[in-house]
Amino acid sequence: MRIEAVLKRVYDRPTTSDQSFQFVFGDFKFDFNNQLLSINGKATKLTNKEARLLKMLVQHKNQVVERDVIMKTIWEDDGYFVARSMDVFISKLRKYLAPDPSVTIKNVHGVGYRLEE
């Protein structure tokens, strides 16, 4: 199991390829391949899970993404501790997005999250 966890971390990292994942929303520019979130020339380096979570929310902008789908896609588990961990990552992303008030992550009670622009 430990070896599988290490291999997952190594092979699950975003790589530079022909397909570029760059998103623009609000005043932000998000480069998924380099895990950078930029606003007004200031870049923030995201962790792998933060980048994957933000990518999922941005790809479904203004749509609800269910908690279970996020947990099973990014954490590959849907237990209680994973749910609490995901809440922490959502809080971190909200702090990163705070400089632009037009972009928010809303909680849809009992369902999931929605990135609103």
CA neighbor of 17 nearest in space, from 3, 34, 4, 5: 34
CA neighbor of 111 nearest in space, from 73, 64, 75: 64
CA neighbor of 99 nearest in space, from 43, 15, 23: 43
Beta strands in the chain (DSSP E): 22-25, 28-31, 36-39, 42-45, 64-66, 104-108, 112-116
Query: The whole model's pTM is what?
Result: 0.77
CATH class of 2-116: mainly alpha
Decide if 52 contacts 74 (C-beta within 8 A): yes
pLDDT band at 11 (very low <50, low <70, confident <90, very high): low
Q: Which of 1-15, 25-39, 55-69, 74-88 has the lowest mean pLDDT?
A: 1-15
Whether residue 16 is predicted with pLDDT greater than 70 in this model: the reply is no
